[in-house]
Structure 1
Amino acid sequence: MRPLTDDETKTMFEKLSKYIGENIKHLVDRPDGTYCFRLHNDRVYYISETILKLATNISRDKLVSVGTCFGKFTKTIKFRLHITALDFLAPYAKFKVWVKPGQEQSFLYGNHVLKSGLGRITENTNQYQGVVVYSMADVPLGFGVAAKSTQECRRVDPLSIVVFHQADIGEFIRSEDTLT
């Protein structure tokens, strides 16, 4: 495991800021200790520094993962968030979307959110803004990108896409072999 380079850190933080804005500082400076991001096999892990010190006793070729996988870098050096980061993104999300109970299963199967399944949306959400998708019971289901702004959502037809699907908790079952 190695620290991220400046370019990798910038790319990853730009992606995270689409979802949680300036709340990124809450991920690193936590009251329960210091946390950091480390790269291992093109995947970025979020790990406490105390566990990181313990992990140095394991050789790189034997280490599968340590900490929480936040995402991975593609071959074109773009950062792709994994659903395993949802527990850390959801509390700090600036823009949220709540889906109706009938739309939850469709979203969990990897489909986009339609206007007919939209329960609520955070005010002043811009188009192409990163959003965290919740059920009406405030359970985080995944994240996506707003296809329409809040104002546009009010006047579009019911079959229009309002949130593009990015990741959902159903991926734990559908893609369990690629998450680690």
Structure 2
Amino acid sequence: MKRLSEERAKILFEKLAKFIGPNVKQLIDRPDGTYCFREHRDRVYYVSEKILKLAETFNPNQLVCVGTCFGKFTKSNKLKLHITALTYLAPYAQYKIWVKPSFEQQFLYGNHVPKSGLGRITENTPQYAGTVVYSMSDMPLGFGVAARSTADCKLADPLATVCFHQADIGEYIRSEDTLF
């Protein structure tokens, strides 16, 4: 487990700020201890400093992972958030989109959210903002990017896309062979 380089740390925090804004500080300094981000084989892990100290006693070649995988850096040095980060990012999300019960299944199959599947949207959501997609019963379902601002959603056609799909909890089943 190595520290993120300055360039990769900047990419990570920009990506997190897109979804949770200034609440990134609350991910690091938590009431139950200090947490940090570490990199291992191009994957970014969110781990407690207490557990990190214990993990340093192992040979890095023998270590599979420590902590929660937040994402993976691609070969072009972009960060792709994994769905395992959802439980940590959802409580701090700035912009939220709720989908109707009839559309939850479609979103979990990897489809974008059309206006006809939109239940609610956070006020003043700008276009292309990172959003957390919820069911109407406030269960986080995944990540998305707002295709339209809140004002544009009110005037949009029912078949127009309002949220681009990025990741969802159905990925565990769809890609269980290729996750690790």
TM (norm. structure 1) is 0.98
Displacement of 1:61 in angstroms is 1.2
1:151 match: secondary structure: helix
Give me the whole-angstrom Cα distance separating, in 1, the residues matched to 2:167 and 2:23.
21
Distance 2:23 2:179 in 1: 25
2:154 corresponds to:
154
Question: 2:66 matched to 1:66?
Answer: yes
CA-to-aligned-CA distance 1:102-139 (integer Å, 9 cap, x gap): 10000000000010000000000000000000000000
For 2:176 and 2:142, how far apart are their aligned partners in 1? 15
Residue 130 of structure 2 is matched in structure 1 by: 130
Question: Which ranges of structure 1 fall in alignment gaps of 5 or more residues?
Answer: none
Q: Which letter does structure 2 place at the counterpart of 1:89?
A: L
Q: Report SS of the residue matched to 2:152.
A: helix
Task: Give the aligned partner of residue 83 of structure 1.
Answer: 83
Indicate the RMSD between aligned Cα atoms, in angstroms: 0.7
Counterpart contact for 1:82–1:179, Cα < 8 Å? no
Percent identity, please. 69
Shift of 1:179: 3.2
Report the CA distance between 1:56 and its aligned residue.
1.1
Q: Runs ≥4 in structure 1, deviation > 6 angstroms?
A: none
- Number of residue pairs aligned between Structure 1 and Structure 2: 180
Q: Tell me, in whole angstroms, the C-alpha distance in 2 between the residues paired with 1:172 and 1:87.
A: 14
| Other structure's SS at 2:70 match | strand
Tell me what 2:92 maps to: 92
1:103 aligns with 2:113: no
Residues 67-92 of structure 1, C-alpha deviation per residue, up to 9 Å, x if partnerless? 00000111111111000000001000
Normalised by the length of structure 2, the TM-score is: 0.98
1:175 shift after superposition? 1.6
What is residue 45 of structure 1 aligned with on the other side? 45
Does the 8 A contact of 1:46 with 1:69 survive in 2?
yes
Give the whole-Å Cα distance in 1 for the aligned partners of 2:178 and 2:12. 20
- Supply the distance in 2 between the matched residues of 1:168 and 1:179 (Cα, whole angstroms): 14
Residue in 2 that maps onto 1:13: 13
The match for 2:174 is 174
